């Protein structure tokens, strides 16, 4: 039954409704009320336009007009050996999703690592009944969709995704890798990946989300991840964007921190035609630390928008944001960072830095910090720079025999490395360095420093 062709007489809204109804038999019945409410909310909100303050610099018109259908099965399913391109090491726990659906065979792989006790790693659709209450109390509780059209859309189409729960006191040594792969189907497709990560008290884990797809194909990934971090717990989180050059990618990460918890999240955006990453961190207890890093490299007509919001609701917490963008040709980069310090959130230490490196006269970068501080004993700083390669440094390197292209790459790499150097997990850092190096357009060096 592969006769699902686009029907020109149907409006985009009708198509959406058709796809929504189609899921009713697929998604868990317990989700129906939530899905329906979110779908209705999306109907009211509609796609945001550049008249919305939060979307001033990023137009989603191409998504609204693309007549995308909920992705069906891929024409050619990915083979196990193709995963090698995306994995960081064999020493990782892995869940693989293809076109939004959990793929048990690919996830198991050749030799799946046994899960340590107290670690729950499952697809949201298959999560055993024992976790139903946990899911119920967290899913869609952190990523609110009232004023967020794409979160509403994701929630409306919630039927599968990843569920991670680290029980109290458990330290997971090996990284958990969630790999979301999109493959062309019968029509340009949309996937709504959903991730729920719960790290209970005194626990810690490393979680990587990778989003990847092929070049030369139009598709849309609309991802939402909710992360709940318990008391004295920590998560080392990575989000690797390796979408194809025709892809739209919109994502939301909601972080909710409890007392004395530590969050580090790295966003690496290395693909996609139009990318918008939203990070909302809610620091709702004392003694927390939240470090958000980002590296993005864009060329051609790529558009990359990183949209951060950190809410300091309680005293004695630190947050740090460091985002570095490399923009070539006609690429555009947007960084918006809002730091909110609630009344009484004294001794907040929040630091925000955004740096962009323009490699061409036609590349554009925009940086908009926003501080809203309602406490008086705090330290909040923000800094934004937009610059070009240092010609004197280029000359210095060339005068040592290094070719112009290599000198350029070394400087670009050095620029990005300020953020990459903060990647704690060695295999991830090595791989990210290599991926970034591959994307640098000049020179003959085949690898970065290391």
Partner 1 sequence: MAPLLQITNLHAEIDGVEILRGINLTVNPGEVHSIMGPNGSGKSTLARVLAGQKCYQVTQGSILYNGRDLLEMEPDERAGEGVFLAFQYPLEIPGVSTKYFIKAALNAIRKRRGLDELDAFEFLTFIKERAKLVDLDLALLDRNVNEGFSGGEKKRAEIFQMAVLEPRLAILDETDSGLDIDALKTVAEGVNKLRGPERATLIVTHYQRLLNYIVPDFVHVLMGGRIVKSGGKELALTLEEKGYAWVENKADATVNA
Q: How far is the CB of 197 from partner 1 (least distance, A)?
A: 32
Q: Is 156 helix (H, G, I), strand (E, B) or coil?
A: helix
Q: Distance (Å, rounded) from C-alpha 98 to C-alpha 75? A: 11
Q: Distance (Å, rounded) from C-alpha 124 to C-alpha 286? A: 31
Q: How far is the CB of 358 from partner 1 (least distance, A)?
A: 17
List Cα–Cα distances, 69 to 18, 189, 441, in angstroms. 9, 5, 34
Q: How far is the CB of 317 from partner 1 (least distance, A)?
A: 29
Cβ proximity to partner 1: between 314 and 355 the closer is: 355
What is the number of other CB atoms lying within 10 angstroms of the CB of residue 232?
16
Cβ proximity to partner 1: between 179 and 295 the closer is: 295
CA 210 to chain centre: 8
Binding residues for partner 1, rule: CB under 8 A, are: 390-393, 395-404, 406-407, 410-411, 413-415, 417-418, 445, 449
- H or E segment and range at residue 39: helix 32-45
Cβ proximity to partner 1: between 17 and 445 the closer is: 445
Cβ proximity to partner 1: between 9 and 392 the closer is: 392
Which of 84-88's residues contact partners 24+ apart within 8 Å by CB, and which partners?
85/212, 86/179, 86/181, 86/210, 86/212, 86/242, 87/177, 87/179, 88/175, 88/177, 88/208, 88/425, 88/427, 88/428, 88/431
The packing angle between helices 32-45 and 149-156, to 10°, is 150
Cβ proximity to partner 1: between 2 and 444 the closer is: 444
Cβ proximity to partner 1: between 342 and 389 the closer is: 389
Cβ proximity to partner 1: between 15 and 445 the closer is: 445
Q: Strands 101-102 and 93-98: what pairing?
A: antiparallel
Q: How far is the CB of 434 from partner 1 (least distance, A)?
A: 15
Cβ proximity to partner 1: between 88 and 413 the closer is: 413
| Residue that the structure tokens 């690429």 belong to | 331
Q: How far is the CB of 103 from partner 1 (least distance, A)?
A: 39
What is the number of other CB atoms lying within 10 angstroms of the CB of residue 74?
18
| Contacts (Cβ under 8 Å, ≥6 apart) of 345 | 312, 313, 314, 315, 317, 374, 375, 378
Residues 51 and 61: beta-carbon distance below 8 Å: no
């Amino acid at each position: 039954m592969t006769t699902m062709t686009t029907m020109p007489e149907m409006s985009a809204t009708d198509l959406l409704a058709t796809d929504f109804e189609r899921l009713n038999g697929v998604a868990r019945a317990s989700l129906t009320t939530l899905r329906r409410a979110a779908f209705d909310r999306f109907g009211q909100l509609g796609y945001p336009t550049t008249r919305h303050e939060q979307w001033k610099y990023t137009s989603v018109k191409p998504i609204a007009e693309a007549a995308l259908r909920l992705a069906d099965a891929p024409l050619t399913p990915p083979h196990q050996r193709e995963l090698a391109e995306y994995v960081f090491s064999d020493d990782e726990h892995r869940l693989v999703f293809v076109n939004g659906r959990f793929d048990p065979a690919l996830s198991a792989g050749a030799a799946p690592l046994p899960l340590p006790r107290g670690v729950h790693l499952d697809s949201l659709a298959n999560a055993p009944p024992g976790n139903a209450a946990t899911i119920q109390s967290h899913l869609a509780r952190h990523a609110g969709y009232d004023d967020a059209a794409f979160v509403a859309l994701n929630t409306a189409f919630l039927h599968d995704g990843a569920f991670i729960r680290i029980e109290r006191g458990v330290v997971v040594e090996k990284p958990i890798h969630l790999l979301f792969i999109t493959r062309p189907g019968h029509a340009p497709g949309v996937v709504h990946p959903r991730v729920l990560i719960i790290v209970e008290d005194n626990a810690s884990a490393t979680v990587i989300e990778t989003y990847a797809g092929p070049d030369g194909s139009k598709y849309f990934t609309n991802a939402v991840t909710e992360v709940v971090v318990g008391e004295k717990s920590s998560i080392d989180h990575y989000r690797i964007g390796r979408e194809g050059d025709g892809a739209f990618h919109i994502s939301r990460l909601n972080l909710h921190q409890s007392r004395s918890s530590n969050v580090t999240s790295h966003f690496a955006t290395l693909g996609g035609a139009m990318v918008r990453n939203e990070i909302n961190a809610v620091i709702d207890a004392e003694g927390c630390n939240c470090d958000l890093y980002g590296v993005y490299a864009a060329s051609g007509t790529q558009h990359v928008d990183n949209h951060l919001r950190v809410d300091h609701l309680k005293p004695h917490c630190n947050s740090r944001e460091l985002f570095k963008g490399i923009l070539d040709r006609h690429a555009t980069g947007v960084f918006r960072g809002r730091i909110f310090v609630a009344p009484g959130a004294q001794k907040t230490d929040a630091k925000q830095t955004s740096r962009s490196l323009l490699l061409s006269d036609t590349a554009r970068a925009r940086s908009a910090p926003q501080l809203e501080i309602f406490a008086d004993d705090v330290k909040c700083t923000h800094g934004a720079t937009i610059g070009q390669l240092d010609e004197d440094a280029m000359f210095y390197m060339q005068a040592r025999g290094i070719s112009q292209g290599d000198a350029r790459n070394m400087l670009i790499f050095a620029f990005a490395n300020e953020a990459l150097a903060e990647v704690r997990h060695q295999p991830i850092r090595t791989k990210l360095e290599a991926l970034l190096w591959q994307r640098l357009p000049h020179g003959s060096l085949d690898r970065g420093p290391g």
